[in-house]
Amino acid sequence: MFFKLNALSTVKMRLPLLPISMLILGNNKTLPLVETSTSPPVSSRHRLLKLIAHLIPRYERCSCSECEVVSGIFGNAFWHENISPTVHQWLNKESSTRLPMAAFPHLRKICNSGFIVDSNGSNSYLIHPQRMALPTLYISGGRPLLVTPQTSFLAHKYMKLHQPGFRHERVVVEGFGHSDLLIGEESCEKVFPHILSHIRSANGDEQQGRNVHINVAEGKKVFSDSEADQYQYEEGFGIITWFSPFVVLLLAFLLVSQLARLFL
């Protein structure tokens, strides 16, 4: 719904790294990640993009080549300390053997806009809040990698404003980044209970037919707002080190431009 990126992700999205990547890919927008003796030969275009992906700055480095390519292009999706070796192996060697990139230009428009837009960059969704008549739960990681907790804060605020007759809750879970909220080793203990609790509460509200947020007649809150609304966070690398990733990314962009001229 809303997308508030941290400093590093913002710089990467503002620079033309993604358009250049799509140009390098050519007509085949699917990047093969896992190479085996039986897999088709990898094109020179794909090899060039994978090489460039290894050079892009990120929060964490990994000895797994497939993980490095994905985090270079997309950004770190999780903190490695939260993921078990078994899950990490499955993600990179079995689950995600190819990276479809055709939708990435659309994703870039969404991230640069700060909220969901259509493929043309138009605000076609948030202008219709009446279509979202349902209870919602927003969960953010308190140690952001890609998007900041402000992302869930704005979505939570939007739904409470436009759909006050439904339960809307928000939780910030410390120590988690992004996808590790769902696939982390301790997600079953620290994240899933919030999901189950919300489902039970929302079902109970529906059965009892009660308004869970604002009693319009009396103007009183029936359920208190989540304390997570006041959550404080620091975006990306912080102000002190803002220029370091920017300079590195600028140099990477210049390198990409030169490599593109040589290979294309």
Looking at the structure, do residues 219 and 259 belong to the same domain, yes or no? Answer: no
* CA-derived radius of gyration, the chain: 21
pLDDT band at 114 (very low <50, low <70, confident <90, very high): very high
Q: What is the pLDDT of residue 251?
A: 59
Question: What is the spatial distance between Cα 66 and Cα 72, in angstroms, rounded to a whole number?
Answer: 10
Q: In the prediction, which pLDDT does 240 show?
A: 37
State whether 147 and 225 are in the same domain. yes
pLDDT of residue 205: 81
Residue 146 resides in a domain: yes
- For the segment 199-215, the average pLDDT, to the nearest whole number, is 71
**Is 109's pLDDT higher than 80?**
yes
**Which is more confident, 206 or 171?**
171
More confidently predicted of 221 and 243: 243
For residue 216, is it within any domain?
yes
Whether 217 has a pLDDT exceeding 90, the answer reads no
Q: How far apart are the first and last CA of the chain?
A: 37
Whether residue 27 sits in one domain with residue 70: yes
Virtual CA dihedral for 148, 252, 13, 104, nearest 10 degrees? -110
- Residue 179 shares a structural domain with residue 159: yes
| Mean pLDDT within 187-211 | 88
Say which residue, 251 or 130, is predicted with more confidence: 130
Same-domain pairing of 176 and 83: no
Structure tokens, 75: 């950004």
pLDDT in tens, 166-180: 999 999 999 999 999
- pLDDT tens-digit profile of 15-36? 899 999 999 999 999 999 998 7
Is residue 123 one of the residues assigned to a domain?
no
Q: Is 93 domain-assigned? A: yes
Residue-level pLDDT at 106:
97
Owning domain of residue 224: 132-230
- Across the range 146-166, mean pLDDT stands at 96
Q: How many domains does the chain have?
A: 2
Residue 227, pLDDT score? 41
Co-location of 71 and 158 in the same domain: no
DSSP letter for each residue of the chain: -B--B-HHHHHHHHTTHHHHHHHHHTT--EEE----TTSPPPPHHHHHHHHHHHHS--S---S-HHHHHHHHHT---S-GGGS-HHHHHHIIIII-SEEE-TTHHHHHHHHHHTB---TTS---STT-GGG--S-EEEEEESS-SSB-THHHHHHHHHHHHH-TTS-EEEEEETT--STHHHHSTTHHHHTHHHHHHHHHHHHHHHHHT--SSEETTTTEESSPPPGGGG-----TTTTTTSHHHHHHHHHHHHHHHHHHHHH-
pLDDT tens column, 59-107 = 999 999 999 999 999 999 999 999 999 999 999 999 999 999 999 999 9
**Same-domain check for residues 178 and 217:** yes
Check whether residue 142 and residue 106 sit in a common domain. no
Read off the tokens for 123: 């605000």
On whether both 86 and 148 belong to a single domain, the answer is no
How much is the pLDDT for 258?
A: 62
| Shared-domain flag, residues 52 and 136 | no
Q: Is residue 118 part of a domain?
A: no
Residue 163 lies in a domain: yes
- Do both 54 and 103 map to the same domain? yes
Q: Which two tokens stand for residue 251?
A: 């140099």
Query: Average of pLDDT values for 213-237?
Result: 35
CA distance 218 to 208: 20
138 in the same domain as 73:
no
